[in-house]
Amino acid sequence: MVEKPDIKISPEKIKQYLKDLKSGDEKSRAVAAYMLGTAGKEDKKIKQALTKALKDKNWEVRKWAALSLGEMGDRDSQLLPILIDIMKRDNSKEFKSHAAVILGELEKRAIPAIPELSVALKDENARVREWANWALNKIAGERPSYRVNYPEERPSLKERLRFAEKDED
């Protein structure tokens, strides 16, 4: 369905990331949420840890956990409020675009996101506008009114990390 990053993570590293996801260090938890998302496809333990991280007190950890779970194909209802929050308060066009894609994939379950997706139709970034339109059409059960190269243009986890690192500079 979606191109996965070419990151291979050893079982030892996965154990360390699972431990880091519970640590007191916010940055370590956020990095762990991202990295586990690249490795966790079918691993129940990883999905459970990321689902718990959706309730983390730190916004970055919750955001990465939600995007990682979405990337892994998880369509749990706990994702919805975090994805709506990303659309509402995140300034990154990559994160907003990716959240819009996942919201569109949720289809009718994403009806509560319609107000934020509607606001995103006026975003200054064309990619955010396109994905918001695509998501709204998916939620409405319609085909998009224009062709979006989905899923090829969908931002991968690897792209999101690269942009996140740039934002820190």
| pLDDT tens over the chain, length 169 residues | 234 455 678 889 999 999 999 987 899 999 999 899 887 667 888 989 998 998 899 988 988 898 888 877 776 677 889 899 999 988 889 889 989 999 998 888 899 999 999 999 999 999 999 999 999 999 998 765 544 444 445 555 555 555 445 544 4
Q: Does a structural domain hold residue 61?
A: yes
Among candidate residues 155, 152, 154, 157, the one with its CA nearest the CA of residue 40: 157
Q: Does a structural domain hold residue 6?
A: no
Number of domains in the chain: 1
Spatial neighbors of 91 by CB under 8 A, at least 6 apart, are none
Q: Does a structural domain hold residue 99?
A: yes
Instruction: Return the pLDDT at 31.
Output: 93
In contact, 66 and 157? CB cutoff 8 Å? no
Query: Where in the sequence is the domain holding 36, given as residue range(s)?
Result: 11-168
Q: How open is the CA angle 141-133-126, to the nearest 5 degrees?
A: 160
Q: Rounded to an integer, what distance in angstroms lies between the CA atom of residue 80 and that of residue 106?
A: 9
Distances from the Cα of 157 to the Cα of 49, 82, 103, 167, angstroms: 18, 17, 16, 15
Instruction: Return the pLDDT at 106.
Output: 87
Instruction: Return the pLDDT at 146.
Output: 47
Q: Does a structural domain hold residue 94?
A: yes
Q: Rounded to an integer, what distance in angstroms lies between the CA atom of residue 135 and that of residue 127?
A: 12
Amino acid in position 31: V
Q: How many other CB atoms sit within 10 Å of the CB of residue 16?
A: 15
Instruction: Return the pLDDT at 97.
Output: 92
Q: Does a structural domain hold residue 5?
A: no
CA dihedral of 86, 162, 97, 53, whole degrees rounded to 10: -30
Instruction: Return the pLDDT at 23.
Output: 86
Q: 106 — phi, psi (to 5°)?
A: -75, -15
Spatial neighbors of 131 by CB under 8 A, at least 6 apart, are 96, 97, 100, 101, 104, 120, 148
Q: Does a structural domain hold residue 4?
A: no
Q: Does a structural domain hold residue 98?
A: yes
Q: Does a structural domain hold residue 1?
A: no
For residue 151, cis peptide bond before it (omega within 30 degrees of 0): yes
CATH code, domain carrying 84: 1.25.10.10
